Chain A
């Protein structure tokens, strides 16, 4: 059974189409992430699911019931907002039970629900405080409590963590994930943070300019990005893109790259050989993630790994890894090496290139090849 169906949904503001036909099916208990840069339409889509925005055309169904013309309160949803949107004139308890009170739930049951929710979120000691007396993280919890109180068919999260500081954000991320695993609730979660998307989602819908560019499980989005945009958006530091020409070398198709005065041949992974054959002699964009270029010492031995020395331009230690900038085909390329590898700017260092996960893109359509 699908908890949420979005079928060819379009949103127009006057002549401008901000959502251009979205199709997404969300299974019961699934955690779906809508991720994309600002202005991609992800929040608009969420508002349309919630009923806070009208649907220009297409259909949205929650629990197999078309809700296009239902007001928000009848859609069986709960929403957590970026600004928390706690009612400032009500205590935490009243905030959590407001929705129940409006729906005329008996007082005893309201009380019970508040107690249960407060226990789940560990905010029992805060129940009689006002929102202004709470810290950011506590407000976030209360906002989630308000959503939990109603036990809806669908939870909607609109960038709930973006107002928190970095440390708290990581903590709350874990909690949301725990909560999801415990409640088995269906969640649609909007974020612009690709790390949140990767860590939380069962599936990720990467959006740009009102279109879903890719909808898949996180690892698939990471390893097999549908196009240049998705490849660049997911992952930090982002994937290196190098323009190069496809050539053949020892019965394998691949690309030849220039490093200083040397050249090095990167053979494409076996499954891509067939697709790349048609691109022989033409220009493509090679995608290689920073962690696929590491220092020779800490790399594993594999057939797809080739070792090479390269001239280091910039060294940026991050603690767990050190980011090193080299230059391939006159393009700066970020490599992620072990901090003990002691790379120094202006000197050569031995690197290992893992070619098993190379991806290639069509420079015109920007789609992945193969």
Chain B
């Protein structure tokens, strides 16, 4: 009803509407400009970059920079582009996202449908995990990984990101499940469903909106992470963000802005794709459960 009222009032005032759209347009351009500059720069040759201005369109479109960034750009001593690091990132981001989302869902389920003595305290403690800065956990985590024999492995990075992400995923799922009536789980218990059956058959089928939120959030966090990547991996195992940093900072000969830009876009593309595919569920999931009924 409030939606209808809003559109009525906006329609009644065309000047206000024009103003709103103009403002939105201005901000959209403002935010898209850097991407635009990156894109056109990545499509120019080094010579053209040197001669033209930042905003001038490429006279001749060339994908050389992209090819170089992908397969032969030098980061540090290696000169085989980002492709290896890209696959590195995929190989630990995907399992880390899946595992942390699943555990978060499970935690949320237990914290809402099977409340026990101290479950609220436990949840509060988990929440604190959201506010712990990366730097604080670096040393203890390095030690833990050493003890577990996971230092400088893909599994080690997965572990780090799962542990760090749990606080967030648990928070998401708990707040989502809290809006689902507890009676649902009770009814299932009387129907004969057990602990896991209720989770798998009743709760999970209701969860797609919050799963999407969780996946987007976790994917963005883990894919974009630099610190854990640079600390807990080395050499060929480095994730793409670390490689990108090295690539941009490698200073031999001419600065190849077009390669830098192409590399940066390659590094950012997966998160963009995840947003485009799942984005429409994102807001829906974030606000679901915020208002009851």
Contacts and interface: CB of A to CB of B under 8 A. Distances in A.
Nearest to A94: B201
B193 A79 contact: no
Nearest to A97: B191
Decide if the interface of chain B is mainly helix, strand, loop or mixed. helix
Contacts of A51: 189-190
Interface stretch (B21-29, B49-57, B179-187, B255-263): B179-187
Contacts of A77: 190
Nearest to A74: B192
Contacts of B192: 73, 99, 102-103
A50 B190 contact: yes
Given A88-B206, A89-B205, A83 B181 contact: yes
Interface string A59-70: 000000000000
B191 A99 contact: yes
B127 interface: no
B206 A81 contact: no
Interface residues of A, number: 23
A78 B190 contact: yes
A359 B186 CA distance: 43
Interface string B163-183: 000000000000000000101
B208 to A, nearest CB: 10
B202 interface: yes
A88 B183 CA distance: 12
B150 interface: no
A25 to B, nearest CB: 23
A89 B184 CA distance: 11
Contacts of A99: 190-192
B19 to A, nearest CB: 39
Q: Which among B181, B184, B186, B188 has the greatest number of chain A C-beta atoms within 10 A?
A: B186
B197 interface: yes
A297 interface: no
Given A52-B189, A99-B191, A85 B183 contact: yes
A72 B197 contact: no
B187 A81 contact: yes
Q: Which among B186, B189, B191 has the greatest number of chain A C-beta atoms within 10 A?
A: B191
Contacts of A89: 202, 205-206
Contacts of A146: 187, 191
Contacts of B202: 87, 89
Contacts of B197: 102
Interface string A333-360: 0000000000000000000000000000
B190 A87 contact: no
B203 to A, nearest CB: 9
A305 B202 CA distance: 63
Contacts of A73: 189-193
A87 B188 contact: yes
Contacts of A88: 206
A79 B184 contact: no
Given A87-B202, A89-B205, A89-B206, A52 B191 contact: no
A102 B183 contact: no
A85 B187 contact: yes
A98 B190 contact: no
A91 interface: no
Nearest to A75: B190
A150 B193 CA distance: 14
A79 B187 contact: yes
A129 B186 CA distance: 23
A71 B197 CA distance: 15
A50 B181 CA distance: 17
A85 B192 CA distance: 15
Interface string B184-224: 10111111110001000110011000000000000000000
26 contacts: A50-B190, A51-B190, A52-B186, A71-B189, A72-B186, A72-B189, A73-B190, A73-B191, A73-B192, A77-B190, A78-B190, A79-B187, A79-B190, A81-B186, A81-B187, A82-B183, A83-B181, A85-B183, A87-B187, A87-B188, A87-B202, A88-B206, A89-B205, A98-B188, A146-B187, A150-B191
Given A51-B189, A89-B206, A102-B197, 14 more contacts: A52-B189, A52-B190, A71-B189, A73-B189, A73-B192, A79-B190, A81-B183, A81-B186, A82-B183, A87-B202, A89-B202, A98-B193, A102-B192, A103-B192
